C-alpha cells in the first residue's frame, strides 16, 4: 500500500515536470518545426532536403531575426513597437546617403544608421515611458514619420550603388554556404539570450513587463527600463537597415514595409509573451526559423500564397494559446 501511495504521489509531479518541459518556448517551437520538416522531407525530398534550400532558409532568417530581437525586448517590457520596420528602412536610407552621397567610411556610415535608429527609439521611449502615451498610437505615428523621412531623404529614388565592398561582404559565404549577416544574427541571439537570462538588465525588463507596480515597489525605475528597451529596439532597426542595404547593394524607400508585423508574429510564435514579462531570445530565433521553414515547405508543396497566410495565422493563434497554457502551468507550480 505504501509503495502504491508513493507511485501515485510521484505521477502528478512527473506529469507537471513533463508538461513544463514541453511548454518551454524552445521546445514548444522545436516540436512543430521538426514535424514540419519531416513531413515535407518525406513528401518533397528533392525540393526540400538539399543543401541549397536549407542554407537559403537560414539566410532569410538573418533580417527578420535580427529585427525581432529588438521587438522582443520591447514586448518583454510590456510595450510594442510598430515603427521598427519603417525605422529600419529610414536608417538604411541614412546609411546609404552616408556611404554613397557623403563618401563616409564604413564605420561612420554604420554608426550614423544606428544613431538614426536609436533616435527614433528614443522618441518612442520618451513619449511612451515618460508621458504615458499609448504605445500603439505613438509607434504608429513614428512609423509614418519614418516612412515620410525615407521618401524625403531619398527623393523617392534608390540610394545606390553602394561601394562594392559592402556587397562583397553581404554575398560572402564564410562557412556552410551561409552569409556573414546570418552569423551576425546568431551572435546577437546568443548575447541577448545571456542578457535576458543571467543579467540584472534582463531581470528588470521582465519584471517591469510582468508587473509594473511590483517592479516600482522593488525599486526598479520603470521609465528608464521601458525607455531603454525602445532605444535598443531602434538601434537594432539601424543595424537591420544596414544589413538590408548591403544585401540589396543600395538603400530603397520601401525597405522594411510590413516588417513590424513579422517581428510581432515571430515574438508570439517564439514564446515571447505579448502580455510582457517573459520570453526567450533563443525561442524567438526558433520562431523566426519556423516561419521561414513553413513558408518554404508550403512553396515546396505548391500551396497557393493565400493559403500560406492562413497557415501562418493558424500557427500564430496556436502560439497565443500555448502562451496562455504556459502561464496557467506556471501559476499552478508557484
pLDDT tens-digit series, residues 112-134: 999 999 999 999 999 999 898 99
Handedness of CA 258, 157, 119, 67 (dihedral sign): positive
> Using 50, 70 and 90 to split pLDDT, how confident is the model at 83?
very high
Report angle CA 251, 295, 48 to the nearest 5 degrees.
Answer: 110
- Which of 28-42, 146-160, 246-260 is the least confident region? 28-42
Only one residue has cell 523617392, namely: 156
Torsional sign, CA 129, 134, 138, 143: positive
Classify residue 2: in a domain, yes or no.
no
pLDDT digits over 132-157, tens only?
Answer: 899 999 999 999 999 999 999 988 88
User: Is the confidence at residue 11, as pLDDT, over 50?
Assistant: no
For 68, the 3-state DSSP assignment is helix
CA angle, corner 31, sides to 28 and 36, nearest 5? Answer: 130
Query: Number of structural domains, the chain?
Result: 1
Stretch 240-266: mean pLDDT, rounded?
91
Answer for the pair 253, 89: CB distance below 8 angstroms, yes or no. Answer: yes
Average pLDDT over residues 221-238: 96
Average pLDDT in the 261-275 region?
A: 87
pLDDT tens, residue by residue, 188-199: 999 999 999 999
Query: 327 in a domain, yes or no?
Result: yes
Is there a domain that residue 270 lies in?
yes
Q: Residue range 255-273: average pLDDT?
A: 88
Q: Cis omega (within 30 of 0) on the bond before 161?
A: yes
Is 1 a domain residue? no
What is the predicted pLDDT for the residue at 200?
Answer: 94
Residue 253 lies in a domain: yes
| Greater model confidence, 328 or 299 | 299
Full-model pTM = 0.89
> CA dist 333 to 19, 75, 136, 202, Å?
11, 24, 33, 22
Higher pLDDT, 308 or 94: 94
Three-state secondary-structure class, residue 159 = strand
Residue 11 lies in a domain: no
What is the percent of the chain where pLDDT is above 90? 51
DSSP states of 84-153: HHHHHHHHHHHHHIIIIIS---HHHHHHHHHHHHHHHHHHHHIIIIIT---HHHHHHHHHHHHHHHHHHH
Which pLDDT belongs to residue 15? 58
Query: So what's the pLDDT on residue 7?
Result: 45
Q: Give 61's pLDDT tier (boundaries 50, 70, 90).
A: very high
Residue 22 belongs to some domain of the structure: no
12: pLDDT strictly greater than 60: no
Q: Is residue 266 part of a domain?
A: yes
Residue 62: CB atoms within 10 Å: 24
Assess contact for 241 and 255: CB atoms under 8 A. Answer: yes
Q: Which of 81, 125, 142 is nearest to 221 (CA)?
A: 125
Going by pLDDT thresholds of 50, 70 and 90, the confidence category of residue 227 is very high
Say how far apart CA 71 and CA 284 lie, in whole Å.
10
Report the helix count and the strand count for the chain, using DSSP H and E. 15, 0
pLDDT tens, residue by residue, 152-173: 998 888 898 999 999 899 989 8
Parent domain of 220: 29-333
Residue 116: CA atoms inside 13 Å, Cβ hemisphere, count?
30
pLDDT for 273:
84
pLDDT at 333: 59
| Count of Cβ atoms closer than 10 Å to residue 258 Cβ | 9
Q: How far apart are CA 136 and CA 149, in angstroms?
A: 20
More confident residue, 308 or 60: 60
Task: Give the pLDDT of residue 20.
Answer: 62
Per-residue pLDDT, 260 = 92
> Which pLDDT score, from 0 to 100, does residue 208 have?
94
Identify the CATH number of the domain in which residue 54 sits: 1.10.3470
Q: Which pLDDT score is estimated for 63? A: 93
Please tell me the predicted confidence (pLDDT) of residue 22: 60
**pLDDT averaged over every residue in the chain:** 87
- Tell me what the mean pLDDT of segment 103-115 comes to: 95
State the pLDDT at residue 3: 52
Amino acid at each position: 500500500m505504501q509503495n502504491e501511495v508513493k507511485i501515485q504521489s510521484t505521477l502528478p509531479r512527473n506529469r507537471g515536470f513533463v508538461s513544463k518541459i514541453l511548454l518551454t518556448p524552445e521546445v514548444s517551437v522545436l516540436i512543430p518545426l521538426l514535424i514540419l520538416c519531416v513531413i515535407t522531407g518525406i513528401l518533397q525530398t528533392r525540393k526540400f532536403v538539399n543543401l541549397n534550400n536549407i542554407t537559403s532558409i537560414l539566410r532569410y532568417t538573418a533580417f527578420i531575426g535580427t529585427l525581432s530581437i529588438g521587438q522582443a525586448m520591447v514586448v518583454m517590457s510590456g510595450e510594442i513597437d510598430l515603427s521598427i520596420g519603417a525605422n529600419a528602412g529610414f536608417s538604411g536610407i541614412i546609411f546609404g546617403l552616408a556611404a554613397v552621397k557623403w563618401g563616409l567610411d564604413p564605420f561612420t556610415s554604420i554608426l550614423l544608421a544606428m544613431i538614426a535608429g536609436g533616435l527614433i527609439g528614443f522618441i518612442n521611449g520618451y513619449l511612451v515611458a515618460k508621458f504615458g502615451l499609448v504605445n500603439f498610437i505613438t509607434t504608429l505615428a513614428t512609423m509614418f514619420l519614418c516612412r515620410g523621412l525615407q521618401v524625403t531623404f531619398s527623393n523617392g529614388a534608390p540610394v545606390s550603388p553602394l561601394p562594392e565592398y559592402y556587397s562583397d561582404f553581404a554575398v560572402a559565404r564564410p562557412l556552410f554556404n551561409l552569409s556573414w549577416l546570418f552569423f551576425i544574427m546568431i551572435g546577437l541571439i546568443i548575447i541577448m539570450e545571456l542578457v535576458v537570462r543571467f543579467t540584472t538588465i534582463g531581470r528588470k525588463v521582465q519584471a517591469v513587463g510582468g508587473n509594473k507596480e511590483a517592479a516600482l515597489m522593488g525599486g526598479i525605475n520603470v521609465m528608464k527600463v521601458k525607455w531603454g528597451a525602445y532605444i535598443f529596439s531602434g538601434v537594432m532597426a539601424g543595424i537591420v537597415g544596414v544589413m538590408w542595404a548591403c544585401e540589396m547593394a543600395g538603400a530603397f524607400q520601401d525597405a522594411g514595409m510590413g516588417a513590424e508585423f513579422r517581428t510581432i508574429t515571430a515574438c508570439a510564435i517564439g514564446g515571447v509573451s505579448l502580455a510582457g514579462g517573459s520570453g526567450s531570445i533563443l525561442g524567438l530565433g526558433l520562431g523566426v526559423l519556423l516561419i521561414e521553414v513553413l513558408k518554404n515547405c508550403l512553396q515546396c508543396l505548391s500551396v497557393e500564397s493565400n493559403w500560406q497566410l492562413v497557415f501562418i495565422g493558424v500557427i500564430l493563434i496556436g502560439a497565443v494559446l500555448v502562451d496562455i497554457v504556459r502561464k496557467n502551468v506556471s501559476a499552478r507550480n508557484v
